[in-house]
Amino acid sequence: MTTTKTLADYVSRLNITIKSEPAQSNPNMDGDMDHWLCRLYFEGRVMAVPFSTGKGLRKERDGLPPKMGWEQYQNRPYPTGGQYKHRENIHKLRADYKAYEESRMSPVKPSVESVLDCLASDCSGADQTDQSFENWCADYGYDPDSRKAFSIFETIQSQENSLVGLLGTDNFNALLETERL
């Protein structure tokens, strides 16, 4: 078996592809994020996995006029004339500016490398076949009496089984040996 160092080399060598669609939520992730349903393809097999990316990974949409800075934004003309000079309502103005900034951004589809990196990172911690839930909790700082922690542990084990089913044991082990992003 050929050893590959980087995840990009690994993906290229095996010709793993991805299709990502926006999703309303991710059953495995809380928070204000961009959610995706990703399908990984390898040798005619498919693995579907929910995936989430932080809003910091968004990029500015193409074709927009230059972004206004905070000073320019707060001194811009009202749509009906005048200016935003209401310092007493600065919190609303800041919220409006945040909404203006977010409206300029669009989610970026996850790459096959980022999804595989996340899966490999999760699996590497729960990969030892003799790893008990209690040991996993101790390694990652979870409370062994937590139902949520047990659910996370089960999800990782399920995703590992799906990933082995997609890639095969040898390719899965090679994935765990690649450099993390």
Report field, pTM of the whole predicted structure over 0.85: no
Within a domain: residue 45?
yes
Residue 25 is encoded by which pair of tokens? Answer: 């939520």
Per-residue pLDDT of the chain (181 residues; tens, 9 = 90+): 556 689 999 999 999 999 999 999 999 888 889 999 999 999 999 999 999 999 889 998 888 888 888 888 777 766 655 555 555 567 777 888 888 888 889 999 999 999 999 999 988 876 655 678 888 888 889 999 999 999 989 988 899 999 999 999 999 999 999 988 8
Does 86 share its domain with 130? no
Biggest alpha carbon distance in the chain? 70
75 and 146 in a single domain? The answer is no
Name the strand (E) or helix (H) holding 59: strand 59-60
Domain count, the chain: 2
DSSP category for residue 129: T
The encoded tokens of residue 18 equal 């991805």
The domain of 154 spans 7-56+110-177
